[in-house]
Amino acid sequence: MPDALDRVDTPAQLTPHQKRESIQRRGSLGDIAGSYDVSPTHDFLTIAKKARERAELEKIELHPVPMKMLVPFLEKASLEDVDKELQYRWAALLLSASKEYQATHLTFIDILSRMSSNELKLLEEVCFLYEGFPERSYPDGHYERNHGILEANANLLVVGEARPEPELEVKNSVLHIRMHMDARAAKEAYEKLVNAAILTYGQIMHVGVCYRQGGASWFYKVSSGTPRFRSLEILERERLVNIERLKFSNKSEIGYFNVTYLGPSSPGSPGK
């Protein structure tokens, strides 16, 4: 591969038209930085070097990147000067496009420019849990599978009667028996569901365990307002996850999310 990425000079003498022609003519990872008017201090050089090093390590055959992807990539990747972890995702995206360009790479440029490494780490965490990653199937895919698993285990979310405490309380000359729900049984039911309902490209967020005499106990793996929940909101905005809520006839409830079909092939995903 050419060693243009090792140079620290940029061809400022070239006109914009000449630079465009140069990129179109060569377009490989080794020549991109030398053909584009970016300072060597820009983080794009770091990103391109990371991509080239990985390509050499894995002995990947590279091909020219189309201009329609290269120009927006250069503009947005060069701005990634804070989140160093995200630079590796940009490098993975550039390498993926150099291996085999697809139209979705353009979508990933926009997505990646609006995200932090926190969102991508969460996405990777969920995808990695599936042994068959990055396999996907449609239409009978993980959406239907996850929905079916949760429905099949909904019966676990109903627990026994409310139990009177042995302590009594007198108010205004009236004897009251304080009633408390069996919180221990509810927690056990929640843990049984989590262990039984192993989702594919998805994760349970909250569970409502109901009692036969009424009322419910709530358990949260992801609470509103937490950094993880905010990351999920960003991923849903980018259409990489769908947040779902199932309410059952027994009054129990499960909140969860599915990674979309685009998610396993998102920018920086392992194997891409």
In the chain, what are the domain boundaries? Answer: 4-114, 142-265
Does the pLDDT at position 62 exceed 50?
Answer: yes
In the predicted model, what is the mean pLDDT of residues 3-11? 34
Statement: residue 161 has pLDDT above 80: no
pLDDT, one tens digit per residue, over 90-145 is: 999 999 999 889 988 999 999 999 999 999 999 999 999 988 887 887 677 899 99
CB atoms within 10 A of CB 55: 21
* More confident position, 112 or 213: 112
The answer to whether 74 and 33 have CB atoms below 8 angstroms apart is no
Write the pLDDT tens digit of every residue in 9-23: 334 444 555 544 544
pLDDT at 223: 84
Taking only the tens place, the pLDDT of each residue in 243-262 is 999 999 888 999 999 999 88
pLDDT of residue 42: 56
Is residue 44 scored above 80 in pLDDT? no
- Distances 40 to 2, 4, 7, 92 between C-alpha atoms, Å: 17, 11, 8, 20
Taking the model in full, what pTM does it have?
0.73
Dihedral angle sign, alpha carbons of residues 263, 267, 269, 272: positive
Provide the pLDDT for residue 174: 54
Mean pLDDT computed over 36-62: 75
